[in-house]
Structure 1
């Protein structure tokens, strides 16, 4: 199984840290956020990685290189301008191959066990969902009997973690350019072709200085 780390975001809410440093290289406990993903994927047996980038992306390539020192092989999908999540993945499909692949947002911190996603995909996507954080209390999707549907007002919705197993077929009919992933997922949900699971471990969407400080606290706590 191959994996793609989405690393093209500009991280404007993390300024001034991101004025001269791409968001995935912002450090928590002295380690760049993206390095936690690379090491966790390698430990899970995922050794072929694709990373997209835009803002100051060369710094990411300079830091990670070909991935050899982490025990992985890394290929890059450079974007002149950010292509949104869907457009970025679509551009990288030639590097990802014809089989389902793992996707993880580069700006989250988690101890999710990536190895559990190395399994057959029943449909077009399998999403990892988490309890709604304080900054996103409405959630994104509803999970029932292992299937994911669009969020429903009044239901116990969950938040998309930024971790998924996707089939290249999810992008059938797409064209190059910037577009979001969510509409593709919702179309697949309407056809009953998206499965999911709830994850209750450590997970932080590192979008602000406060949440970066939360990651620092989690790392200081250890186990």
Structure 2
């Protein structure tokens, strides 16, 4: 699943007429980078949720045939936050476990690495698997602690253990969203913390290229970097 329903307030005025996942970097929209990399990793069925200017996303991606995948859409009248969006889209999602990526990040992460977590979660081990990254300048305190491939909240860990930032890439078991009502807003963090308290969240540390494209300045810098790298 690709999460593409956010309004992108910090990206205004760019997002007044263009949904954030369609903003171009390196010659193509952010979301197209995801679709192509997911396809290369062997994912053939994608679900995209959208709200703000969602018709534009459907016009660009269509049914996915042009990218070698099939795409279905979960349409939200207004953004339902991460857990609410996922719970609402569950009827379109196949399997006991599934991968999710934020549509407003850029990364060169190899989604093929999620095969093992997908199999493990589908077999009933753990509720979530999170890809963690080094803390970016705009988020120096990080989110969670990664300790021997287990993700813990700060409350569970010693103060000396460094925190990392959640990348927006994860694998989840359907049962994680059992108490979330489809169509209602719900954040993801409380569900993850509850699963962490039960020691049911694994993780990995990705040190490759990753950018949270949260401001026009970051978008422009990333675009320049990718174009320079491709030259």
Give TM class, smaller chain: over 0.9
User: Which blocks of at least 5 consecutive residues in structure 1 are unaligned?
Assistant: none
Distance, in Å, in 1 between the alignment partners of 2:227 and 2:95 is 40
The number of equivalent residue pairs is: 220
What are the equivalent positions in structure 2 for 1:70-109 lying under 5 Å apart?
70-109=67-106
What are the equivalent positions in structure 2 for 1:21-100 lying under 5 Å apart?
21-100=18-97
Q: Is 1:186 the counterpart of 2:193 in the alignment?
A: yes
How far apart are residue 175 of structure 1 and its match?
1.6
Distance, in Å, in 1 between the alignment partners of 2:110 and 2:228 is 19
**Structure 2 residue aligned with 1:214, among 221, 226, 229?**
221
Distance, in Å, in 1 between the alignment partners of 2:23 and 2:74 is 20
1:165 is aligned to 171
CA displacement, residues 165-201 of structure 1 (integer Å, 9 cap, x when unaligned)? 1110111222230010110010000000000000000
Distance, in Å, in 2 between the alignment partners of 1:213 and 1:157 is 28
Structure whose residues are more often helix by fraction: 2
Distance, in Å, in 2 between the alignment partners of 1:175 and 1:29 is 38
* SS across alignment from 1:134: coil
Q: TM-score, normalised by structure 1?
A: 0.95
CA contact (8 A) 2:151 2:196 kept: yes
CA contact (8 A) 2:3 2:49 kept: yes
How far apart are residue 222 of structure 1 and its match?
2.6
Moved runs in structure 1, 4+ residues, more than 2 A? 151-155, 220-223
CA contact (8 A) 2:83 2:180 kept: no
Distance, in Å, in 2 between the alignment partners of 1:46 and 1:97 is 12
CA displacement, residues 140-165 of structure 1 (integer Å, 9 cap, x when unaligned)? 00000110011355430000000001
CA contact (8 A) 2:3 2:50 kept: yes
How far apart are residue 218 of structure 1 and its match?
3.0
Distance, in Å, in 2 between the alignment partners of 1:141 and 1:170 is 18
CA contact (8 A) 2:130 2:170 kept: yes
2:162 is aligned to 156
Distance, in Å, in 2 between the alignment partners of 1:173 and 1:29 is 40
How far apart are residue 97 of structure 1 and its match?
2.5
Distance, in Å, in 2 between the alignment partners of 1:169 and 1:67 is 28
Q: Is 1:138 the counterpart of 2:141 in the alignment?
A: yes
